Structure 1
């Protein structure tokens, strides 16, 4: 991993330099390179489910949502969880990438993100046993099959919570089929023009379900000890790499603890990260937590998950992204300056303030180009 000069987009150049004053060189706004992709700063839009698609298709909402974060200065703009099959969706309103129409709809958004000098990323996901629920503003309860829901699958026949769908335990044929679906979605992502894939192995969705002993009680080669439980994830990574070019980066979002006794631990997360690092196929661990068991006990606060990114970076020798209530420029800068992570992922803060990166650059006195259309706001 190395740094390089920030790529120049159509809104860069002399028109910006005339407005800039000599500034500092904060870590938050230093470029970073993963394989053949250079990112202009260390800010990544965290995947944020919008529950606004129809039949998995992106629409103007997705263009505006993702486009605003690109014009707002984020270095990497990532889609929400984008599902590899209709069966794998969290809700009937979730985004998908399993057909060419979805690919073409996303390609339009990718082109706009890139036109603003940001790097387009896609999170590929399968919801597993947490599929077929209603959207949050309708309560997030189970979506009954009789009412348009669908059968859900998982590593074992264990429901996420009382009253939720009991998944059908996946056969080896199911595992092979879902792996192939990840590969097909990867091909479509490449054709759409995405430059980074973030595989979703967190928050209680399918790949995380296999990793956690709370949801995986299999007695075959995909269960048992940590190596068995990690087998599916490792196979998906290897399969995705057959369609994802060597010059493009692959991230993995990992829940680094289940926050429940008997579940995944920090030590497990380090070992999983070591396994992935050893493959030479994964470039960054996107370090989140929780989501696999409603009994979890979390005490959130500013930067409360940073220690997971810091530990994995140090002990697994792989780049990491930190996420979770990193809401101020000073906190983000401290994390990077002290080598606790390589990227800062922001979700709710960027949801509320799409131009947070531009404002953070001003606060840290960094020479960052603003879109020419917004230059009048630079000194306001």
Structure 2
């Protein structure tokens, strides 16, 4: 019997993933001054032990002001390198490559954690708000503060901050980086006509709105080793009139690939406010078609994400050629050993080898004893 494609290796530039399941970047909001702590270590240890193929750290701010919330991780200081190295070493003990999502939250920075509403920090919050930056002086939503429109010098500094963050990722021993160009954050804001009303080289037509994304990719690609993968997370559609459509994202993906992006992590949405979000009903695998079309038409590897919760569903994504990798978020929070359990369900003969020997040996023995009793 042939091996299910979900459990075949995948090579992204110079990095091998032992299977196609990847920990999606999930913000934890538990950092102080952007530093990794024991919470992050415990959070990732669950996945490292569970048979996953690869992992991404959460949206990690390239500047202090680019944090989504006061509890977000950062990569703007060399002091943050040791914590990043600690998580990389954890995953490497289990042959799992680790990447970091380099991020700047733009006009959605300075916000409260989700369980406190995700609204802007203000007079009623424990942590003071800080000024936010965006392509244009347009608030994210009616009750959000108006950001400062970025000057050309601001843009140059942001590009340099992404490059500096990538350099720190290399120094920390991470295996790849992902540039966050999605979910209504700064790079996405520049690309979306719904947030970008500039009339200079960074606004207006498609080429100008795509300029920041491409310049960030060039800057990052220039400072990382040639063998290191560079990924890009895209919001493939804005789901709002006058916003980004899938045709735009296919076109952008082709340009990104030409600049050295190895994979497009294909997500959606985030540019509109909470009212638009609450009106959207998400169905299982609803974003997989975005990954499929980008993969087919832009000729670049993709990762599918969004309500992929079952082993056979994930395997079918790979069987269909819709994506090269599958990112899991809440499915892993619910079951950190999703990869191992998926391997059992898909009847992978060496499923127990996905686990550390001190776990896999005893689970394999239990399975053998159970089968003997059943015969």
Report TM bin, short chain: over 0.9
Aligned residue for 1:349? 331
Query: CA offsets, 1:161-189, max 9 Å, x none?
Result: 11112110000000000111111111110
1:30 maps to 2:29: no
Q: 2:163 aligns with which of 183, 188, 209?
A: 183
Which structure 1 segments of 5+ residues have no match?
1-22
Q: 1:250 Cα deviation (Å)?
A: 0.5
Runs ≥4 in structure 1, deviation > 6 angstroms? none
SS in structure 2 opposite 1:242? helix
Distance in 2 separating the partners of 1:48 and 1:70: 15
Partner of 1:199: 179
In 1, the alpha carbon distance for the partners of 2:76 and 2:251 equals 32
Distance 1:187 1:137 in 2: 33
Partner of 2:263: 284
Query: 2:358 corresponds to which residue?
Result: 373
Q: Do the aligned residues in 2 keep the contact of 1:127 with 1:206 (CA within 8 Å)? A: yes
Task: Classify the secondary structure of the residue corresponding to 1:245.
Answer: coil
C-alpha distance in 2 between matches for 1:337 and 1:130: 37
2 CA distance for matches of 1:152 and 1:377? Answer: 51
Separation in structure 1 between the aligned mates of residue 27 and residue 280 of structure 2, nearest angstrom: 21
Alpha-carbon distance in structure 1 between the residues aligned to 2:118 and 2:4: 41
Contact 1:289–1:305, Cα closer than 8 Å, also in 2: yes
Q: Give the counterpart of 2:99 among 113, 117, 121.
A: 121
Alignment pair present for 1:239 and 2:224: no
- Given the alignment of the two structures, is residue 319 of structure 1 paired with residue 281 of structure 2, yes or no? no
Q: What are the ranges of 5 or more consecutive residues in structure 2 without an aligned counterpart? A: 371-375
d(CA) in 2 for partners of 1:136, 1:192: 29
In the alignment, the residues of structure 1 paired with residue 23 and residue 271 of structure 2 have an alpha-carbon distance, to the nearest angstrom, of: 23
Conservation of the 8 A alpha-carbon contact between 1:204 and 1:292? yes
Any conservation in 2 of the 1:77–1:121 contact (CA below 8 Å)?
yes
The TM-score normalised by the length of structure 1 is: 0.92
Residue deviations 1:223-277 (CA, integer Å, cap 9, x gap): 1111110000000000011111110101000000011111100111111011112
- Partner of 1:267, secondary structure, is helix
Q: Quote how far apart the aligned CAs of 1:135 are.
A: 1.1
Other-structure match for 2:88 = 110
**Pick aligned residue for 2:240 from 260, 277, 280:** 260
Deviation at 1:142, TM superposition (A): 1.1
2:343 to 355, 361, 367: 361
Q: CA deviation at 1:68?
A: 1.3
1:1-380 to 2 correspondence within 5 Å?
24-144=2-122, 147-279=127-259, 281-294=260-273, 295-296=276-277, 297-366=279-348, 367-368=350-351, 369=353, 370-375=355-360, 376-378=362-364, 379=367
Equivalent pair of 1:322/1:343 in contact (CA under 8 Å): yes
What RMSD over aligned residues (CA atoms) do the two structures have, in Å? 1.3
Query: What's the secondary structure of 1:87's corresponding residue?
Result: helix
Count, aligned residues: 357
- C-alpha separation between the residues in 1 aligned to 2:112 and 2:280? 24
1:11 is matched with: none
Asked if 2 retains the 8 angstrom alpha-carbon contact of 1:24 and 1:364, the reply is: no
**Per-residue deviation, 1:373:** 2.3
Equivalent-residue separation in structure 2 for 1:66 and 1:155 (angstroms): 34
Report if the CA contact (8 A) 1:144-1:150 is conserved: no
Distance in 1 of aligned mates of 2:346 and 2:2: 7
1:80-111 Cα shifts (integer Å, max 9, x gaps):
00110110000000000111221111101110
Q: What is the TM-score of this pair, normalised by structure 2?
A: 0.93
CA distance in 2 between partners of 1:214 and 1:184 (Å):
29
d(CA) in 2 for partners of 1:325, 1:126: 25
**Secondary structure in 1 matching 2:65:** coil
